[in-house]
Structure 1
Amino acid sequence: MELQDRRGIETDVYQPAEDSQLLADAVCERLGRDAGDTAEKRRTVLEVGTGSGYVADRIAEATDARVIASDLNPHAVRQARERGLETVRADLVSPFVDGAFDAVAFNPPYLPTEPDTEWDDWMERALSGGEDGREIIDPFLESVGRVLAPDGVVYLLVSSLTDVDAVAERAGEAGFSAAAVADHSFPFETLTVLELFR
C-alpha cells in the first residue's frame, strides 16, 4: 500500500525536468553571486509552484537563504516537505505578508492548451497555461510585487511558446524591468529565465 500511495503522489506532482534545472541553475548562480556584495540581502526566498521541491532544495543547498516552498497541489506540498523543505499550500502568493521575500522563483504552467483538450487533474494544472500559455503568469505578475522586499527580484521561467516579449511587456505593466539571465533552446521551444526587478 505504501508503494502505491507513493507512486500516486509522483504521478500527481511535476517532477524535475530541463526547465527545473535551468531555473535552479540561474537562481543559484544569481543569488550566490550577489551574496558576497550584499550579505544582508536575498536572505528569504520563495519558490512558487514548487512541485517536487527540486528548485527550492537546490536554492537552499547553494545559498544561506531561508527558502519557503509553496504549491497549490497538496501532493506537491507533501513531497516537498519530505525533502525537508519548509512548505506552504498556497495559490500563488496569496497567504504571504507584504515585503516578505528578497527573491521569488517560479516555473509556472506555461504550455498553451486548448480548453477542449484540458483535463482536470493535478498534472494538467502543473502544465497547462491556458490558450496563450499565460493564464497563470499574468495573475502572478499582478500579485508578486506585493510580497517582495524593496530590492527584491523575481526569477520567472518562460517558454518561447508563451511569447517571452509579451511576458516582459506584462511585467513592465506590473512595474518591473525584465532581463533574460539564462536560456536553453530545444527543437520545439526556447526556455528563458527572466530576472524581474523594480
Structure 2
Amino acid sequence: MTDLAERRGVETELYEPAEDSALLAGAAVDGVDAEDRVLDVGTGSGYVAARVRAETGAHVVGSDVNPHACRRAAEAGVETVRADLVSPFRAAVFDVVTFNPPYLPADEDAARDDWVEVALTGGTSGRAVVDPFLDKVGRVLRPDGTVFLLVSSLTGIEAVVQRAGERGFSSVVVAETSFPYETLVVLKLVR
C-alpha cells in the first residue's frame, strides 16, 4: 500500500485511507478478538475491515452507502453490504462496530458534488452522520458490545461523548493524534 498521506489527495469515487483510517484500524485491532463478529460501517476501500480481519482473525463485514466503495472493499476481500449505517442488520449480532464517519463541518468553498464529499462532510456541525449512527448502533450490538468511533476536534468531541452518553454508552479515548488544524481521537463506546 502506498503512503496513506499521499493517497489522501487522490481524487476517486471513494475516500482513500489516510491517517484517520490508520488510527481507527490500530485502535480496533487492539480491541478485537478472533471470535468477534465485527461491522465496519462506512468501510470505503475496506482498509479498516481488511486490517482488522488480517491482524485479529475476526469475522468482519463492511457496509457503505457508496456503491463504488462496496465494489472496492469486495475487491479487497471484504464481505460487503451496501447499506445506510446499520439499517439492514439484525439486532444484537455484532460484538464490535467500527466507524470512520464523515466528520468535517461543511465548507461551501471546498464543496464537491461527488461520493468523496459524501464521505468527508458531516453537515454544518460535522455530526450529521455521527448522531444518527449513535442513535442506531446500539440495536446491532450484543449486550457487551463495543464501538470504535473516530471523531475530530472539528466535530466537537464533547458533543459526541454527550450524545453517546444519552444513548447509554460510556466513552473513553483509546487513540489520539494531533495536526496543526485538528485532533483526531478514537472513542471506545461501551454500555
- Scaled by the length of structure 1, the TM-score of the pair is 0.88
Segments of structure 2 that go 5 or more residues without pairing to the other structure are 1-10
Segments of structure 1 that go 5 or more residues without pairing to the other structure are 1-9
In the superposition, relative to structure 1, how do residues 130 and 115 fare at CA in structure 2: closer, same or farther (>3 Å)?
farther
Aligned partners of 2:147 and 2:134: how far apart in 1?
A: 9
Given that residues 115 and 130 in structure 1 are in contact (C-alpha distance below 8 angstroms), is that contact kept between their aligned partners in structure 2?
Answer: no
SS at match of 1:28: helix
**Cα deviation 1:3-41 (Å, max 9, x = unaligned):** xxxxxxx7001111000000000100122xxx4xxx75x
SS at match of 1:138: helix
Counterpart residue identity of residue 142, structure 1: D
Deviation at 1:65, TM superposition (A): 1.1
Is 1:169 equivalent to 2:170 in the alignment?
no
Aligned partners of 1:190 and 1:85: how far apart in 2?
A: 29
- Scaled by the length of structure 2, the TM-score of the pair is 0.91
**Cα deviation 1:123-164 (Å, max 9, x = unaligned):** 100000110100000000000000000110000000000110
List structure 1 segments (4+ residues) > 2 angstroms apart after TM superposition.
114-120
SS at match of 1:20: helix
Aligned partners of 2:31 and 2:80: how far apart in 1?
A: 23
Bigger CA drift: 117-126 or 54-63?
117-126
Is 1:26 equivalent to 2:27 in the alignment?
yes
Deviation at 1:114, TM superposition (A): 4.3
CA RMSD of aligned residues (A): 1.6
- Residue in structure 1 matched with residue 96 of structure 2 by the alignment: 103
Number of residue pairs aligned between Structure 1 and Structure 2: 182
- Residue in structure 1 matched with residue 75 of structure 2 by the alignment: 82
SS at match of 2:154: helix
Please identify the structure whose Cα radius of gyration is greater. Answer: 1
- Residue in structure 2 matched with residue 11 of structure 1 by the alignment: 12
- Residue in structure 1 matched with residue 8 of structure 2 by the alignment: none
Is 1:94 equivalent to 2:95 in the alignment?
no
Aligned partners of 2:112 and 2:180: how far apart in 1?
A: 26
Counterpart residue identity of residue 57, structure 1: A
Deviation at 1:57, TM superposition (A): 0.3
Given that residues 23 and 193 in structure 1 are in contact (C-alpha distance below 8 angstroms), is that contact kept between their aligned partners in structure 2?
Answer: yes
Counterpart residue identity of residue 163, structure 2: R
Given that residues 70 and 89 in structure 1 are in contact (C-alpha distance below 8 angstroms), is that contact kept between their aligned partners in structure 2?
Answer: yes
- Residue in structure 1 matched with residue 189 of structure 2 by the alignment: 196
Aligned partners of 1:175 and 1:118: how far apart in 2?
A: 34
Counterpart residue identity of residue 140, structure 1: F
- Residue in structure 1 matched with residue 115 of structure 2 by the alignment: 122
